[in-house]
Structure 1
Amino acid sequence: MELKHIPKLKFTDGQSFFLIAGPCAIEGEDMAFEIAGRVNAICERLEIPYIFKGSYRKANRSRIDSFTGIGDEKALGILKAVGEKFQIPVTTDIHSEPEAALAAQYVDVLQIPAFLCRQTSLLVAAAETGKVVNIKKGQFLSPDAMQFAADKVRGAGNERVLLTERGTTFGYQDLIVDFRGIPTMQSLGAPVVLDCTHSLQQPNQTSGVTGGRPAMISTIAKAGIAAGVDGLFIETHPTPSTAKSDGANMLPLDQLEPLLERLVNIRKAII
């Protein structure tokens, strides 16, 4: 799939990596517009193709009392409004077949969570919407095994597939990124994204709240660009400590611009 097939994606004629970035979850309209506006302005200046990300519902939670969302249609409406205001593509994750058709009315890219990357009916339902489908590699899968996930989408008549590396389970409470997986998944015929946020998660904490190492996002991102990844996924928030979901993983918004500037320079040095 070529990036130009993603609706409203800018700067696809250049040689930059593309960026998927936004908050973990949609907490409200003001927050979503603030993040999208600031990131979009940075990407416009640096000529980075940009897709805004925000989960309209958080289904994969450790604890029953964890924040799950502000309401499906309200959050999806905010995502659609962001895309229309800034003229950028937007993405969100889905968790069941009915959600595919619902979310497809509002967003440009449907994201399949890593835990669900082998869920055949979900992949087929996403494919049948005609939207771009971004499949996150399960923490339990090899890069080669993502061939079968991609084949499910393509077999349903949709060639618009992205694959995302987000780390592999290492013990009970850590993940590790094998950068050999980037060219391996690129050989499957899809652009590959490196999830710099969730690759640094520390799951299965005794508190029931997932931890993370956001101070290492820069390290993972720079290594990914050097390895030739096509896109980066970074969750960001103005004040991660007050975020309602995954605050321990997100990059403070004011740190994003200098990081992207460094990554652009790395990209220029290797092409």
Structure 2
Amino acid sequence: MVNFELDKLKHTTSGNFFLMAGPCAIEGEEIAMRIAEKIVTLTDQLEIPFIFKGSYRKANRSKGDSFTGIGDEKALKILEKVGKTFGVPTVTDIHESAEAAMAAAYVDVLQIPAFLCRQTDLLIAAAKTGKVVNVKKGQFLSAGSMKFAVEKIYEAGNKRVVLTDRGNTFGYQDLIVDYRGLPEMQSFGVPVVMDVTHSLQQPNQSSGVTGGKPQLIETIAKAAIAVGADGLFIETHPDPAHAKSDGANMLHLDLLEQLLVKLIKIRKAVS
């Protein structure tokens, strides 16, 4: 694992935003390493601080037969290998309090899924590991209400908190991003991330498989950087159509470089 300081994410020496990126789920070692190597190469060249993302298990699925993972320990060991091989921090989501200590043994950042952001025991368990805790804002919550999640983690003795916006529920099968929420959450004194790809999901489809609008990834990302987001969260895959989870809203890995180059230009223009 990599020991890194949270302040470096908010005040990067390059002046760039930081990036959380990787596949939705850990599908296997070979593809995880391939994705990580590609992103590390890009972010090193562009001086973008990078955290590799991969879910060791997907607990929130519409259908009972949807892919959930390759096995907890196997996936966590792959995340650990990515971190050690490329010298980058790693992040994965946890779903129950008992998972916090287990995941913390392998990764640097524990992520709280949006649907679970109000689960007090989960937040406290994550906080007590001493790891950075990235809390995704619930689709059903206002930005202002996320101060209570920050307070719970602080009160548990951990000041290493990141908040991530991933859109707001807009009817039954769509999400919309309210960019006013980014500066509001930044007022709590924590880095704020825009989850670009999940904010473009189209949940609750009749097929039981979540849809998405990946053609709008650049739009959402550009707006977030223009507003002043500290970081971006982007799920990416070399073959989204055949990804085992969330392929409908992921960015094709080959498109990441040109997107990041554009975003750096916007960051410089608004800084």
TM bracket (short chain): over 0.9
Alignment partners' CA distance in 2, 1:15 and 1:116: 32
The C-alpha deviation readout for 1:170-205, integer Å capped at 9, x for no partner, is: 000000000000000000111000000000000000
Q: Which residue of 2 aligns with 1:134?
A: 134
Q: Which residue of 2 aligns with 1:121?
A: 121
SS class of match (1:67): coil
Alignment partners' CA distance in 2, 1:14 and 1:51: 16
SS class of match (1:15): coil
Equivalent pairs, count: 269
Once the 2 structures are TM-superposed, how far is the Cα of residue 8 of structure 1 from its aligned partner? 9.9
Alignment partners' CA distance in 2, 1:200 and 1:67: 20
Once the 2 structures are TM-superposed, how far is the Cα of residue 4 of structure 1 from its aligned partner? 5.5
The one-letter code sitting in structure 1 at the alignment partner of 2:146 is M
Q: Which residue of 2 aligns with 1:195?
A: 195
Q: Which residue of 1 aligns with 2:39?
A: 39
Alignment partners' CA distance in 2, 1:39 and 1:7: 22
Are the equivalent residues in 2 in contact too, given 1:20–1:231 (CA < 8 A)?
yes
The C-alpha deviation readout for 1:70-98, integer Å capped at 9, x for no partner, is: 00000000000000000000000000011
Once the 2 structures are TM-superposed, how far is the Cα of residue 124 of structure 1 from its aligned partner? 0.0
The one-letter code sitting in structure 2 at the alignment partner of 1:240 is P
Q: Which residue of 2 aligns with 1:151?
A: 151
Q: Which residue of 2 aligns with 1:66?
A: 66
Q: Is 1:252 matched with 2:248?
A: no
The C-alpha deviation readout for 1:120-140, integer Å capped at 9, x for no partner, is: 000000000000000000000
Q: Is 1:111 matched with 2:111?
A: yes
1:94-105 mapped onto 2 (5 Å cutoff)? 94-105=94-105
SS class of match (2:262): helix
CA gap 1:53/1:155 in 2 versus in 1, 3 angstroms = same
The one-letter code sitting in structure 1 at the alignment partner of 2:38 is R
Once the 2 structures are TM-superposed, how far is the Cα of residue 5 of structure 1 from its aligned partner? 1.3
Name stretches of at least 5 consecutive residues in structure 2 with no aligned partner. none
Are the equivalent residues in 2 in contact too, given 1:32–1:78 (CA < 8 A)?
yes
SS class of match (1:58): coil
Once the 2 structures are TM-superposed, how far is the Cα of residue 15 of structure 1 from its aligned partner? 1.0
Once the 2 structures are TM-superposed, how far is the Cα of residue 7 of structure 1 from its aligned partner? 11
Alignment partners' CA distance in 2, 1:83 and 1:254: 22
Q: Is 1:49 matched with 2:38?
A: no
Are the equivalent residues in 1 in contact too, given 2:4–2:89 (CA < 8 A)?
no
Are the equivalent residues in 1 in contact too, given 2:111–2:136 (CA < 8 A)?
yes
Q: Which residue of 2 aligns with 1:204?
A: 204
SS class of match (1:107): coil
SS class of match (2:140): coil
Alignment partners' CA distance in 2, 1:24 and 1:7: 26
Alignment partners' CA distance in 2, 1:19 and 1:31: 19
Alignment partners' CA distance in 2, 1:35 and 1:4: 22
Once the 2 structures are TM-superposed, how far is the Cα of residue 13 of structure 1 from its aligned partner? 2.1
Once the 2 structures are TM-superposed, how far is the Cα of residue 6 of structure 1 from its aligned partner? 4.2
1:228-267 mapped onto 2 (5 Å cutoff)? 228-267=228-267
The one-letter code sitting in structure 2 at the alignment partner of 1:178 is D
Alignment partners' CA distance in 2, 1:60 and 1:209: 12
Alignment partners' CA distance in 2, 1:27 and 1:219: 28
Alignment partners' CA distance in 2, 1:109 and 1:252: 24
TM-score by structure 2 length? 0.97
Q: Which residue of 1 aligns with 2:78?
A: 78
Once the 2 structures are TM-superposed, how far is the Cα of residue 152 of structure 1 from its aligned partner? 0.5
Name stretches of at least 5 consecutive residues in structure 1 with no aligned partner. none
The C-alpha deviation readout for 1:40-79, integer Å capped at 9, x for no partner, is: 1000000000000000000000000000000000000000
SS class of match (2:98): helix
The C-alpha deviation readout for 1:142-168, integer Å capped at 9, x for no partner, is: 000000011010000000000000000
SS class of match (1:110): strand
Taking only aligned residues, the RMSD between alpha carbons, in angstroms, comes to: 1.6
TM-score by structure 1 length? 0.97
Once the 2 structures are TM-superposed, how far is the Cα of residue 12 of structure 1 from its aligned partner? 3.2
Are the equivalent residues in 2 in contact too, given 1:4–1:12 (CA < 8 A)?
no
